[in-house]
Structure 1
Amino acid sequence: MNTRVSLSSVLTEVNKAKGLPNAHYIDPNVFVEERDAVLFANWSGIGFGKDIPEAGDAYPIEFLGMPLLMVRDREGQIGVFQNTCRHRGMILVDEPGKIRGAIRCPYHSWCYGLDGTLKAAPHVGGPGQNTHEDMDYANLGLIRIRSYVWRDVIFVNIDGTAPDFEEVHGELMERWQDFDQPMYHGGDGASVHLELASNWKLAVENFCESYHLPWVHPGLNSYSRLEDHYNINELGKYSGQGTYVYRQFEGEAGEKLDDFAGLSEKWTEGAEYIVVYPNTLLGVQRDHGFAFIIDPISHERSNERIELYYAQPPEDTPEHEALRAQNAALWKTVFEEDVFVVEGMQKGRHGIKFDGGRFSPVMDGPTHCFHHWVASQIEKARSAPHAD
């Protein structure tokens, strides 16, 4: 059954456009179409460098049903592989841990290096024969997935067709070049995991805009008001919001978290929150940053994983532990306040007469940019020679 709906009403200017149709939130067939055209065809966030901090660390994940393995090799470089043995398709690593020697398949003990190369295939030529003339080790390494690490987020391009990450996101990287410096995860208290009864895109859309602040985030809005924000509308590239009023926490003696070094004046009281399409949400402030990864589980379920980072390692600044805890508690409250909205929009998408909704031409530019980009990716895939 063909569930495709025309997206022409999305692919127009914000003052005339409608949002993505209901099927893009509640139809499992459309979810599969978006998996291929949007999430597999672009640079999607799947994990964090902090997950594999040391050489030999391996971290298995499942992304849209695909088993992946993030690995840090002996030189400290991060690689991502399909977590599948090239012999009989066995899962290689089923929980995070340290690879002491080689990545060993638990089924027939085929072994792979941290660079994915096949190192050993015991008895492949018969008992006691570990080679065979028809077995080319060089072509039987693990399948490497294109990956790139930026702001500690591990991005992958599953289908291998996207332009290089720096080409796709170079303008955003330049916009935030002040923050192109070391940053350090805040430790155990700096992680937030949320489960959402909603489509992944609704979490992205909610992050895009500040329009909802007065009603959903009254505490945050009390000092970073709606009128203190600006839209970031880079059609076809990225979108989000910024604020001219970022207030640092102060301790009892007036102490503050350390700033990142050499920041321009823009960041003295400013901050920005931008979506790296399709599923990664980033925030930068003078003294800390954060990253969300939205993990699409199904057409009506998704997970959020949020990590907070600072200018100095927590172990070097124990005197700031209380400030980091206060900061993490504030953001956790803000993130949790959004859950009912995201899940409420998901329920609303089952209203069969809903037509995708209209955008405020002034307030909803960032959300429209995201819808327009998603629709563009889908239309591009539909028009490709191999498309049905």
Structure 2
Amino acid sequence: MNKHDPLASVMTPVNVANGLPNAHYIDPDVFEAEKHAVLFRNWAGIGFEKDVPEPGDAMPVSFVGMPLLILRDRSGEVGVFQNTCRHRGMILVDKPGKIRGAIRCPYHSWCYDLDGTLKSTPHVGGPGQNRHDDIDMAALGLIPIRSYIWQGVVFANIDGTAPDFEVAHAHLLDRWREFDQPLHLGGDVSCFTLDVQTNWKLAVENYCESYHLPWVHPGLNSYSRLEDHYNIEEPGLYSGQGTLVYRQLKGDKGEVMPDFPDLSEKWNEGGEYVAIYPNVLLGVQRDHTFAIVLEPQGCEKTVEHIAIFYAVPPADTPDLDALRAKNATQWRGVFEEDVFVVEGMQKGRHGLHFDGGRFSPVMDGPTHNFHHWVASQMTAGR
């Protein structure tokens, strides 16, 4: 390893490592390099399955400038396509909605089926001539993007080079096998966004560790103390934290949300919170899960898209609407408590003499795990 490489010290053991250099948080050129080497090269979260609940539903997404379209076809399958007409590159769908017939380009009216097939090319051979021998319609369908749905999140591998999702994330899929069951969004109250003036990686780093709980989350720490948590570290795969004292939320009359069926005893009072690299933060508990998709909008701006899921549909338990609202309010409060921290670290990264910082060998393993992974991805992408 080149000792003059600024990433060399990042990829050393946690007790001697430095964190990622400032440029990885404030330099647009490094942000652009990370886009390709980290975000496009791996299985990044781009949205939620809930956003396209019925056949024909379409959700356009601009993921770090890449125009994508999440689409549920007539058979109910969700796919992702590049949201670009194959004719002259026009954006096809510019706002969420239902496609009732075909996806029609607003420029020259080329039309695509919900499975991406090119269906019509009006006047392509001249007025009234809708075919031309040199236009191979079978080869000009929408460009599919590899996608996979897990824990309610739509993941996409934009450059197409990652191992299959089941291979890349086999370890976590197995760890959380018990939660591989239907998830139900807890209604509109259970999805919200936070606009944060920070680099997306700082949101991952903060989520990974429990070290900050006593000072940033005093309410949470009052019953789920620092000593009740454990580190989760799987080098090169994911990292996070777990608690041994998850306390189920109760309503005014002692009511609780139904548990996910067939969970093992460890989940009676346990919960786990994991960052699945690069940009999705997940939490699982006995009676609900949540997912946070981090949308990088630049070096110093991130939108956090949050959704909370339950074991049963809200329509089946209307008596628990107030409890779901209380749960969403509680989690939103926790996530908002982190905003000043990640924004403060972002400001701190403009300190010319900051060297990436040092890690607590005991408490910061999950964060170092993420830094090491980012550095290795960037090194491999050179």
Residue in structure 2 matched with residue 359 of structure 1 by the alignment: 359
Report SS of the residue matched to 1:189.
helix
Q: Report Cα offsets for 1:182-204 as digits up to 9, x if no partner.
A: 11001110012111111110001
Q: Report Cα offsets for 1:314-366 as digits up to 9, x if no partner.
A: 01101111111111111000000000000000000000000000000000000
Q: Report Cα offsets for 1:212-259 as digits up to 9, x if no partner.
A: 000000000001111100000111111000000000112233221000
Give the unaligned 5+ runs of structure 2: none
Aligned residues: CA RMSD: 0.9
Which letter maps to 2:192?
V
Residue in structure 1 matched with residue 185 of structure 2 by the alignment: 185
Report SS of the residue matched to 1:42.
coil
Which letter maps to 1:115?
D
Counterparts of 2:91 and 2:151, CA distance in 1:
29
- The correspondence of residues 190-229 of structure 1 with structure 2, limited to 5 A, is 190-229=190-229
Report SS of the residue matched to 2:381.
helix
Counterparts of 1:120 and 1:159, CA distance in 2:
28
Report SS of the residue matched to 1:194.
strand
Residue in structure 1 matched with residue 318 of structure 2 by the alignment: 318
Using the aligned pairs only, state the percent identity: 70
- The correspondence of residues 327-346 of structure 1 with structure 2, limited to 5 A, is 327-346=327-346
Counterparts of 1:262 and 1:35, CA distance in 2:
40
Counterparts of 1:266 and 1:242, CA distance in 2:
11
Which letter maps to 1:26?
I
Which letter maps to 1:179?
F
Counterparts of 2:14 and 2:106, CA distance in 1:
54
Residue in structure 1 matched with residue 135 of structure 2 by the alignment: 135
Q: Report Cα offsets for 1:282-337 as digits up to 9, x if no partner.
A: 00000000000000000111110100000000011011111111111110000000
Residue in structure 2 matched with residue 386 of structure 1 by the alignment: none
Deviation at 1:55, TM superposition (A): 0.4
Deviation at 1:6, TM superposition (A): 2.1
Counterparts of 2:26 and 2:121, CA distance in 1:
45
Aligned length: 379
- The correspondence of residues 28-107 of structure 1 with structure 2, limited to 5 A, is 28-107=28-107
Give yes or no for contact 1:5–1:21 (8 Å, CA) kept in 2.
no
Which letter maps to 2:78?
I
Counterparts of 2:252 and 2:51, CA distance in 1:
34
Report SS of the residue matched to 1:85.
coil
Report SS of the residue matched to 1:70.
strand
Q: Report Cα offsets for 1:29-57 as digits up to 9, x if no partner.
A: 00001000000000000000000000000
Deviation at 1:13, TM superposition (A): 0.7
Report SS of the residue matched to 1:206.
helix
Counterparts of 1:66 and 1:254, CA distance in 2:
47
Report SS of the residue matched to 2:231.
strand
TM-score by length of 2: 0.98
Deviation at 1:146, TM superposition (A): 0.7
Counterparts of 2:274 and 2:75, CA distance in 1:
32
Residue in structure 1 matched with residue 368 of structure 2 by the alignment: 368
Which letter maps to 2:232?
I
Residue in structure 1 matched with residue 289 of structure 2 by the alignment: 289
Residue in structure 1 matched with residue 176 of structure 2 by the alignment: 176
Q: Report Cα offsets for 1:126-169 as digits up to 9, x if no partner.
A: 11111111010011111111111111100000100000000010
Which letter maps to 1:169?
H
Residue in structure 1 matched with residue 159 of structure 2 by the alignment: 159
Counterparts of 2:160 and 2:191, CA distance in 1:
30
Counterparts of 1:114 and 1:100, CA distance in 2:
10
Q: Report Cα offsets for 1:258-288 as digits up to 9, x if no partner.
A: 0000000110000000011000000000000
Give yes or no for contact 1:69–1:81 (8 Å, CA) kept in 2.
yes
Counterparts of 2:330 and 2:181, CA distance in 1:
25
Counterparts of 1:322 and 1:248, CA distance in 2:
15
Higher mean displacement: 4-13 or 242-251: 4-13
Counterparts of 2:5 and 2:159, CA distance in 1:
24
Counterparts of 1:209 and 1:177, CA distance in 2:
23
Counterparts of 2:344 and 2:95, CA distance in 1:
34
Report SS of the residue matched to 2:160.
coil
Give the unaligned 5+ runs of structure 1: 383-388
2:118 is the counterpart of 1:108: no
Counterparts of 1:24 and 1:252, CA distance in 2:
47
Deviation at 1:82, TM superposition (A): 0.8
Deviation at 1:5, TM superposition (A): 5.4
Counterparts of 2:64 and 2:244, CA distance in 1:
37
Report SS of the residue matched to 1:12.
coil
TM-score by length of 1: 0.97
Residue in structure 2 matched with residue 256 of structure 1 by the alignment: 256
